[in-house]
């Protein structure tokens, strides 16, 4: 197994922060911890090339660095690419993770890196990479390299990767169903028992976190504003011309309401499985309030009701999907110079 | 939408979820099956209720973000 | 309250000239059963057949699965509000035909997203139903019967059949007895043991319940606030599933995994089971706030619970009720664990949880979305019509969430979604 290794200026033996601008250096042999890496990898593997680069250079010239690393890795006929471990070093971690992603997608070879859970490099690429949890202390180098080496072997041989606890990598947030010994009921009571007694327990799901998006400024003068209605309740014209799925919809539709004083049940249907749709089908204004907004437009409470309403189905829609839909819809509304949105959800 | 700078008012019957994903302006809707209406009310009153809910949303858009 | 289950272990099930129990052999007279079921004029006919454990047989769409049970005279009503008049259940003696299930096929339901019972293969292995002998009934409605009436007739047929089968065991000495005894929250002499309660959703108002949909003591639960039930009432016919239940069958109310596990620990003097609540997931914010508050306050002041286990019904929105009730309990000093269903279609943990309260931190996650099987053509198919049988019998992909007993909301599931 031929291994190419990436290190920063510190682990590459050049020096500390004062050398963070060091341009990439290429060595045809292991450097620093790379020697230990070669040892733990075993006889059938060898670190054939090492690229050392300053953290600041990497941060400011990521494109150039990536191109160089790809070139060198390809040229060295690498079977595996290893970056770090980076422990707490943030710029190092970000660079290492970014390089791993590039090598993996361009050269299609297994990639391994390691860093502390708090390292910013983890969040950026958590779901695409296997990142060994190195903890913060560089004194654990040998242990960490061993885990990285085991992971490298596993990836190279195409074996199934075990759980984060088993293999020592940072949880990627990807779900895998497994059959276990105990029924859910048994697990529930056991977990409650531990919790009530103040003992340790392991929840089967960690709490999610959603990034805070600062609220846009309020609309100064609604009587001059163009307001658009968006719904995730799945209201579509009869016949569902855009074929919006009743769940996990991957597309959205924009439907003309110019001149309409309200929506008629005969003209629409609902593509959504998560609620009892008859009330909305009787009177779609119950979901998309065109009737009221048109009146408010006429009495100049709002400036204008946008000529289209936008619709998709929010049922069990994966977050990544919803993010994309939101981005696309936002782009269209910005183009149409919409000032404010009322989003109705079931 | 808000990332693009357009203020959004979210009208929903499952407020906890809206809060969780970070909606900045939330107004309580009327019910999962008719968030902008109420089938138990006679038509006139239902429309009045709808108008009230929409006006709440418009108020929220006029003001700094605050959730119920 | 004390409930004795008289358990009759059944080793074989067949159709014959008379309904009787001989040792562990159960014979069912389909003609007598048919007459009984067809007293309901909403039905024009009913198919009755038996399926053996592990048989190469696929059944769908399943309306419900029940365990055959009948109460001894003087022990109270069978399925009060549905079959018998209203009266309290959970006491006296109830005879159980263990090893048998009554499975009702819903001929009026489309196959897409309907529940399938797969009796063989890897999909079957994952379900506790495949080790049972099934009496499968497929009722066919008369003309001009509207859908909810059809469903009501299926419900009636299901409980009639369950009781009819078990009645033949009433005079027979059972193989064993299981006793469920609890004095509720005012029990004496158990100081020092943690007090546990169970709060289980039995309906979700994402769908408005039909006027004749019988769920709790025969009521459709519309307008109900949380209802206090003795654990025995769940086990003895007070609760059945709604007309279209995802991941729940009446069989596992009768054999409720959470209540049985709580009772096991109660009987071993590890905890005290103080009581339960049946709740309904709300249709709007105010109802949710009200009902979750009422449930938590009840757990605190009437049950004096130290810990509560919560399960849900329905789909996504009920997680809000589940988690809000749990949060309110935690705020009152009661520890909680919750069971969530699999809402992650993209297999990312970020999409999985529909709530974010730091105090609701003990979660059991029943997977199911990425467990599926490519199953071959079924050797035998039971469905509502010839066309449906043809479609259902063909090779297909079965997803765990659509296979009875695999990813259950009642707690019987051995599936778990691990975060990798």
Residues A296-306: tens digit of each pLDDT: 999 999 999 99
pLDDT for A211: 56
In a domain, C187, yes or no: yes
Mutation target vs C (from A182, A183, A281; most C CBs, 10 A cutoff):
A183
In a domain, A188, yes or no: no
Give the count of Cβ contacts less than 8 A between chain A and B. Answer: 152
Q: Note down the domain range covering A48.
A: 2-167
DSSP A17: G
The average confidence (pLDDT) of chain C is 95
Instruction: Considering only the beta carbons, identify the residue of C308, C348, C411 that sits closest to A174.
Output: C348
CB contacts, 8 Å: A217 with chain B: 7
- Domain count within chain C: 1
Q: Note down the domain range covering B21.
A: 10-62
pLDDT for B68: 47
State the residue for tokens 């997680």.
C319
Query: What residues contact residue C363 under an 8 Å CB cut-off, 6+ apart?
Result: A203, A204, A205, C337, C338, C339, C340, C353
pLDDT for C113: 84
Task: List, as ranges, residues 357-396 from C with C-beta within 8 Å of A.
Answer: 358, 361-371
Residue A295 C-alpha, separation from nearest chain B C-alpha, in angstroms: 9
In a domain, C369, yes or no: yes
Number of neighbouring beta carbons within 10 Å of residue A259: 7
H/E element holding C351?
Answer: helix C349-352
Shared domain for A8 and A127, answered yes or no, is: yes
Residue A159: alpha-carbon gap to chain centroid: 25
Contact between residue C334 and residue C367 where contact means Cβ atoms under 8 Å apart: no
Nearest CA among C257, B15, A309, A23 for reference residue A12: A23
Tokens of A85: 């471990």
Contact between residue C292 and residue C324 where contact means Cβ atoms under 8 Å apart: yes
Distances (CA, A) of A259 to A193, A295, A306: 62, 12, 11
Helices (H), chain A: 33-41, 55-60, 62-75, 90-107, 120-125, 141-156, 164-167, 184-196, 278-282, 290-298, 319-335
Residue A133 C-alpha, separation from nearest chain C C-alpha, in angstroms: 13
| β-strand partners of C398 | C373
In a domain, B43, yes or no: yes
H/E element holding C48?
Answer: strand C43-51
What A292-298 contacts at long range (C-beta under 8 Å, 24+ apart), as own/partner pairs, is A292/B47, A292/B50, A292/B51, A292/B54, A293/A227, A293/A229, A293/A342, A293/B54, A294/A260, A294/A261, A294/A262, A295/B51, A296/B51, A296/B54, A296/B55, A296/B58
Report d(CA A299, CA C18) in Å as an integer: 78
Sign, CA dihedral A88-A94-A99-A100, equals positive
Report d(CA B65, CA A217) in Å as an integer: 8
Strand order in the sheet with C116-118: C116-118, C57-60, C380-382
Whether residue C159 has pLDDT greater than 90: yes
In a domain, A257, yes or no: yes
pLDDT tens for C244-267 read 998 999 999 999 999 999 999 999
Sign, CA dihedral C113-C118-C121-C125, equals positive
In a domain, B50, yes or no: yes
Report d(CA C276, CA C232) in Å as an integer: 10
Nearest CA among A50, A65, A38 for reference residue A5: A50
pLDDT for B60: 83
In a domain, A101, yes or no: yes
In a domain, B4, yes or no: no
In a domain, C413, yes or no: no
In a domain, A184, yes or no: no
In a domain, A217, yes or no: no
The dihedrals phi and psi of C2, each to the nearest 5 degrees, come to -130, 125
pLDDT tens for B3-47 read 667 777 887 766 666 666 667 777 777 666 666 666 667 778 888
pLDDT tens for C384-407 read 999 999 999 999 999 998 999 998
pLDDT for A326: 79
* Half-sphere exposure in the Cβ direction for A155 (13 Å, CA): 25
Report d(CA C416, CA C399) in Å as an integer: 15
pLDDT for C176: 96
pLDDT for B20: 61
* Residue B33 to residue A292, Cβ atoms within 8 A: no
In a domain, B1, yes or no: no
Identify the weakest region by mean pLDDT among A15-19, A199-203, B47-51. B47-51
Residue A26 C-alpha, separation from nearest chain C C-alpha, in angstroms: 35
Report d(CA B1, CA A337) in Å as an integer: 13
pLDDT for B55: 85
Tokens of C356: 């974010």
Q: Based on DSSP, count helices (H) and strands (E) in chain B, helices before strands.
A: 2, 2
Angle in degrees, CA C121, C125, C131, rounded to 5: 110
Query: What residues contact residue C130 under an 8 Å CB cut-off, 6+ apart?
Result: C53, C54, C118, C119, C120, C124, C405
Pick A33 or A251 by higher pLDDT.
Answer: A33
Report d(CA C44, CA A127) in Å as an integer: 56
Q: What share of chain B is helix, strand, coil (3-state, %, to 5)?
A: 40, 10, 50
DSSP C348: B
Label residue A161 by pLDDT band (50, 70, 90).
confident
Report d(CA C83, CA C361) in Å as an integer: 42
CATH number for the domain that contains residue A19: 3.40.50.2300
In a domain, B41, yes or no: yes
Q: Which of A120, A137, A167 corresponds to the end of one domain?
A: A167
Entry pTM = 0.77
| β-strand partners of A2 | A46
Residue A177: alpha-carbon gap to chain centroid: 20
Interface check C193 vs A, CB under 8 A: no
The mean pLDDT of C35-43, rounded to a whole number, is 98
CB contacts, 8 Å: B63 with chain A: 218
Interface check C351 vs A, CB under 8 A: yes
Q: Note down the domain range covering C316.
A: 2-402
Instruction: Considering only the beta carbons, identify the residue of A186, A205, A321 that sits closest to C346.
Output: A321
Angle in degrees, CA C263, C265, C269, rounded to 5: 110
- Domain count within chain B: 1
Residue A271: alpha-carbon gap to chain centroid: 28
Task: List, as ranges, residues 218-257 from A with C-beta within 8 Å of B.
Answer: 218-219, 222, 225, 227, 230, 233
- Domain count within chain A: 2
pLDDT for A49: 96
Shared domain for A154 and A228, answered yes or no, is: no
Nearest C-alpha in C relative to A211: C350
Shared domain for A250 and A104, answered yes or no, is: no
Interface check C316 vs A, CB under 8 A: yes
In a domain, A98, yes or no: yes
Pick C212 or A334 by higher pLDDT.
Answer: C212
pLDDT tens for A84-129 read 999 989 889 999 999 999 999 999 999 999 999 888 888 777 778 8
Pick A323 or A265 by higher pLDDT.
Answer: A265
């Amino acid at each position: 197994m031929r291994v190419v290794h990436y290190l920063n200026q510190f682990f590459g033996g050049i020096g500390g922060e004062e050398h963070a601008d060091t341009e990439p250096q290429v060595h045809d042999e292991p450097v620093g911890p790379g020697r230990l890496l070669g040892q733990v990898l075993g006889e059938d593997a060898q670190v054939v090339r090492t690229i050392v680069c300053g953290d600041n250079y990497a941060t400011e010239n990521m494109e150039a660095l990536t191109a160089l690393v790809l070139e060198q890795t390809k040229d060295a006929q690498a079977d595996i690419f290893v970056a770090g471990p980076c422990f707490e070093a943030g710029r190092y971690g970000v660079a290492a993770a970014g390089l791993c992603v590039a090598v993996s997608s361009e050269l299609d070879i297994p990639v391994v890196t390691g860093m502390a859970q708090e390292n910013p490099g983890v969040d950026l690429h958590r779901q695409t990479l296997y990142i060994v949890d190195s903890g913060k202390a560089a004194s654990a180098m040998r242990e960490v390299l061993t885990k990285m080496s085991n992971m490298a072997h596993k990836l190279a041989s195409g074996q199934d990767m075990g759980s984060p606890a088993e293999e020592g990598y940072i949880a990627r947030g990807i779900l895998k169903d497994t059959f276990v010994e105990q029924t859910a009921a048994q697990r529930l009571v056991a977990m409650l028992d531990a919790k009530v007694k103040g003992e340790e327990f392991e929840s089967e799901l960690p709490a999610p976190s959603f990034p805070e998006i600062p609220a846009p400024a309020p609309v100064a003068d609604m009587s001059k504003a163009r307001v658009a209605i968006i719904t995730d309740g799945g209201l579509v014209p009869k016949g569902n011309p855009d074929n919006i799925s009743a769940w996990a919809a991957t597309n959205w539709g924009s439907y003309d309401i110019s001149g309409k004083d309200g929506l008629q049940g005969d003209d629409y249907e609902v593509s959504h499985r998560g609620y009892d749709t008859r009330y909305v089908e009787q009177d779609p204004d119950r979901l998309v309030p065109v009737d009221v907004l048109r009146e408010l437009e006429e009495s100049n409470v709002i400036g204008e009701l946008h000529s289209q309403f936008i619709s998709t189905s929010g049922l069990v829609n994966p977050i990544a999907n919803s993010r994309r839909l939101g981005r696309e819809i936002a782009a269209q509304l910005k183009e149409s110079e919409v000032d404010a949105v009322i989003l109705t959800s079931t | 939408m808000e990332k693009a700078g357009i203020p959004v008012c979210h009208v929903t019957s499952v407020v906890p979820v809206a809060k969780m994903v970070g909606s900045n302006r939330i107004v309580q809707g009327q019910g999962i099956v008719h968030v902008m209406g109420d089938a138990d009310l006679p038509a006139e009153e239902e429309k009045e209720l709808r108008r009230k809910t929409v006006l709440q949303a418009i108020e929220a858009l006029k003001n700094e973000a605050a959730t119920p | 309250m004390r409930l004795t289950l008289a358990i009759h272990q059944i080793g074989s099930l067949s159709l014959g000239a008379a309904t009787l129990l001989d040792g562990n052999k159960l014979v069912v007279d389909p003609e007598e059963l048919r007459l009984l079921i067809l007293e309901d004029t909403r039905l024009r006919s009913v198919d009755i057949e038996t399926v053996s454990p592990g048989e190469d047989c696929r059944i769908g769409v399943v309306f419900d699965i029940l365990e055959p049970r009948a109460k001894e005279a003087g022990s109270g009503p069978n399925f009060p509000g549905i079959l018998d008049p209203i009266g309290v259940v959970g006491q006296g003696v109830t005879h159980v035909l263990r090893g048998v299930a009554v499975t009702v096929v819903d001929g009026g339901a489309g196959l897409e997203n309907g529940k399938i019972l797969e009796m063989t293969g890897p999909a079957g292995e994952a379900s506790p139903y495949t080790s049972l002998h099934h009496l499968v009934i497929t009722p066919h409605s008369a003309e001009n019967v509207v859908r909810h009436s059809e469903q009501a007739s299926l419900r009636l047929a299901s409980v009639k059949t369950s009781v009819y089968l078990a009645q033949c065991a009433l005079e027979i000495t059972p193989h064993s007895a299981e006793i469920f005894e609890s004095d509720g929250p005012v029990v004496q002499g158990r100081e020092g043991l943690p007090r546990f309660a169970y709060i289980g959703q039995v309906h979700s108002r994402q769908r408005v319940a039909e006027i004749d949909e019988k769920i709790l003591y025969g009521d459709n639960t519309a307008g109900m606030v949380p209802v206090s039930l003795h654990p025995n009432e769940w086990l003895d016919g007070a609760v059945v599933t709604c007309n279209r239940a995802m991941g729940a069958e009446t069989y596992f109310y009768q054999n409720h995994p959470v209540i049985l596990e709580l009772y096991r620990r109660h009987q071993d003097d590890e905890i005290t089971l103080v009581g339960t609540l049946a709740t309904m997931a709300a249709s709007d914010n105010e109802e949710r706030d009200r009902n979750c508050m009422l449930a938590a306050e009840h757990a605190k002041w009437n049950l004096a619970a130290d810990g509560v286990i919560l399960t849900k019904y329905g789909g996504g929105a009920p997680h809000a009720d589940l988690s809000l009730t749990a949060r309110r309990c935690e705020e009152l000093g009661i520890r909680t664990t919750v069971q969530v269903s699999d809402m992650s279609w993209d297999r990312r943990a970020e999409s999985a949880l529909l709530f974010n309260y730091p105090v609701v931190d003990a979660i059991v996650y029943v997977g199911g979305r990425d467990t599926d099987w490519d199953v071959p053509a079924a050797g035998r198919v039971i469905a509502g019509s010839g066309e449906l049988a043809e479609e259902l019998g063909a090779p297909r992909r079965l997803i765990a969430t659509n296979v009875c007993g695999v990813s259950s909301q009642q707690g019987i599931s051995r599936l778990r979604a691990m975060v990798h």
